[in-house]
Amino acid sequence: MQSTYMMIKPEIVAADEQKIGEIIAIVQKAGFRIEKMELKQLSRETVEEFYVEHVERPFYGELVDYITSGPVVALQLQRDDAVIKMRELVGATNPVEAATGTIRDLYGTELSTNAVHASDSPESASRELGLVFG
Exactly one of 9, 85, 104, 117 is catalytic; name it: 117
**What angle separates helix 82-90 from helix 17-29, to the nearest 10 degrees?**
130
Q: Which residues are bridge partners to 38 per DSSP?
A: 74
* Cα atoms in the Cβ-side hemisphere of radius 13 Å centred on 113: 11
Task: Reply yes or no on whether 54 is catalytic.
Answer: no
Task: Give the CA angle between residues 121, 123, 125 to the nearest 5°.
Answer: 70
Q: Give the active site residues.
A: 117
